[in-house]
Structure formats: C-alpha cells, structure tokens
Amino acid sequence: MSWLQKWSNPVLEKEFRLRMRTIRSPLSLLAYLVVIGLLAFGYIYIIMHDRGGRGFTPDNSRMLFYFLSGAQLVLVCFMAPGLTAGVISGEREKQTLNILLTTQQSSTTIILSKLFSALSFMFLIVFATLPVYSIVFLFGGISPAQLVAVFGFYVLVMVALGSLGVLFSTLLKKTVVSLIVTYGVGLFLYVFVGLAAVFIMTVSNGQLREVSGMLVSINPLAAMISIFEPNFSGEFFRNRWEGVQLWHVFVPFHLILSAVAVMLSIRFLRPRLNKREHLGRLERES
C-alpha cells in the first residue's frame, strides 16, 4: 500500500467533505484575507502619512513584515485550538464515536486524520495570505528565506496547539471543557511562562539569564523575533551558550510536545479493560 493510499481513508474524506462543502468556509477565508489586507494597507497608509507622502522605504517594509507576522501568529494561536478541541469529544457527544471505533480504521489513522483535517483549513487560510506578503517584496527589506521560515513557524505552532486540542478532546467528554482546557494550557505556556522568565530575569539581576532564555524560548512571539533579529537571543544566551537562538529551543520543544500529545491521544482513544475485566471477558467467551 502506497503512502497516498494509506492516507486516503473514509475518516479523512468525510472530514474534508463536511468542512469544505458549506458556504461558511469560503466566507471565513474571505473575512480573514480582508482583515489581513486591511492591516497591511492601513500600516502602509499610516507610515506614508507620517513621512509626508515621501515613499515607503525597505526599513518600513521590514517593519510591515514583522507586523503582519506577529498579527497572523496571534490569529493562529487563537484559531488552532478552536478547530481541534472538539474533533473527538464532538463525535462522543453525537454518539458516533463508538461506531467510528468499530470500523477497520486504526486509532493512529483516526487521530491523525482528525488532526490533519481540522488543521487543513487553517493551513489554507495561512498560505492564502501569501499574496498579501508579496506587498513586502515590492519594497524590499525581507529575504525569501525569512518568509519560508515564518510560514514553517506557523505550521509548527498550528500542529503543536492542534495536537494539544486533540489530546484534551480525547481525554475529556465535553467539547466546552476540552476547549477551555486547551486554551488554558496554551495561555500558560505562551503567556505565564514568559512572564515567569521576565520575573526570574529581573529578580536574579541577570544571574539566571540562561534559565530565563529557556523559558522565553517557549513563547512563539519571542522565538519568531529571534528569527528576524538574531542579536535578540544574545540578551539571554551568553558565554558557553553564545550562538544559541531562541528558536533553536522552541522548535524541538514543540516537536516533542506534538509527538507526545498525538501518542497519548492514540493511547487513550479506545477504552481499555483492566486485567481483571479482561480475564472475566475471556472466561465468559470460553
């Protein structure tokens, strides 16, 4: 069986059909692009107005790129959990999960198909903004490598938050509870851990600089800044840590987080009998 045939399964096909056949999906995509476009042109208008209509420089273009990247990162962090936190609990609430589990689809196929189908719309939205980013290249200031790095960064954040959403959707019975817990964990990782890093940095007068750097690296905005401005990481990593960038820590942490969340989702998707119940069932069947 080829890789493509392995991924072409009824679960993935059903999710794609249900998600893309309604008018709500293209309208959501249109609204998102309108918002991003207005942010870009609004920024250009403000800068040119402040400069008295004297043009838009490459430095302004680079700041526009930073602004768009940060704004889209916030939107990704907000939307990804909402798209995945109900993929399994929603099936349980509709009483269709048991039917799904009786099919020939493995737990791995079900979890990965649910995760990929839920994030596919987010992938479409993010990559649909490429024409907006082309405005930046009209004025210069940004290399194609930085653009590729930023979009790869988006994908990693989406997968990490999406995996957490699928995990809590598997563990918790109610979609509302799963959604709240997913947003709560995301808020803890991306906000409170960053605040803790700033607090440690301030209290220790820079003595625990590397510890603060490790904690700050979990924050996607700080890690993204380190992609744009490598000197930013030097505020945290010095001496023997010199040369280490915040995104060097961010990437493996989120890869491990995604892998662990997916494996736990696969492990707890199907109800498992304890040893006594299993022996009792074997005795009744014999």
Q: Which residues contact 157 (CB under 8 A, 6 or more apart)?
A: 73, 76, 77, 80, 220, 254
Distance (Å, whole) CA 243 – CA 228: 15
Q: Where does residue 224 rank: exposed (0-12), middle (13-18), buried (19+ CB within 10 A)?
A: buried
Q: Which residues contact 243 (CB under 8 A, 6 or more apart)?
A: 237
Give residue limits of the domains in the chain: 7-271
> The pTM is what?
0.83
Distance (Å, whole) CA 105 – CA 59: 53
**Residue 125's Cα: distance from chain center in Å?**
13
Strands of 149-191, DSSP E: none
Give the pLDDT confidence score for residue 10 in this predicted structure: 66
* Statement: residue 99 has pLDDT above 70: yes
| Sign, CA torsion 86/88/89/94 | positive
Give the pLDDT confidence score for residue 141 in this predicted structure: 67
* Section 144-166 average pLDDT: 88
Percent of the chain with pLDDT strictly greater than 70: 83
Q: Which of 50, 48, 67 is nearest to 136 (CA)?
A: 67
Distance (Å, whole) CA 135 – CA 28: 22
pLDDT band at residue 233 using 50, 70 and 90 as cut-offs? confident
pLDDT 10s digits, 116-149: 888 888 888 888 888 888 777 776 667 778 888 8
Give the pLDDT confidence score for residue 230 in this predicted structure: 76
Give the pLDDT confidence score for residue 262 in this predicted structure: 92
The residue behind tokens 């800068």 is 47
* Section 213-219 average pLDDT: 85
Amino acid at position 4, single letter: L
Q: Please, what is the average pLDDT of the chain?
A: 79
pLDDT band at residue 285 using 50, 70 and 90 as cut-offs? very low
Q: Which of 13, 163, 24 is nearest to 103 (CA)?
A: 13
Amino acid at position 198, single letter: V
pLDDT band at residue 273 using 50, 70 and 90 as cut-offs? very low
Q: Which residues contact 16 (CB under 8 A, 6 or more apart)?
A: 117, 120
pLDDT 10s digits, 15-63: 666 666 777 778 888 888 888 888 888 877 887 777 665 666 777 778 8
* Coil/strand/helix, residue 43: helix
pLDDT band at residue 252 using 50, 70 and 90 as cut-offs? very high
Percent of the chain with pLDDT strictly greater than 90: 11
Give the pLDDT confidence score for residue 16 in this predicted structure: 66
Of 172-176, 213-217, 271-275, 280-284, minimum mean pLDDT range:
280-284
Q: Which of 14, 248, 220 is nearest to 113 (CA)?
A: 14
Cβ density class 229-238: b for 16+ within 10 Å, e for less: eeebbbebbe
* Section 3-18 average pLDDT: 61
* Statement: residue 8 has pLDDT above 80: no
* Coil/strand/helix, residue 143: coil
Q: Which residues contact 119 (CB under 8 A, 6 or more apart)?
A: 80, 83, 84, 158, 159, 162
* Section 59-83 average pLDDT: 84
Task: With beta carbons less than 8 A apart as the criterion, state whether 169 and 88 touch.
Answer: yes
Amino acid at position 279, single letter: L
Of 48-52, 88-92, 212-216, minimum mean pLDDT range:
48-52
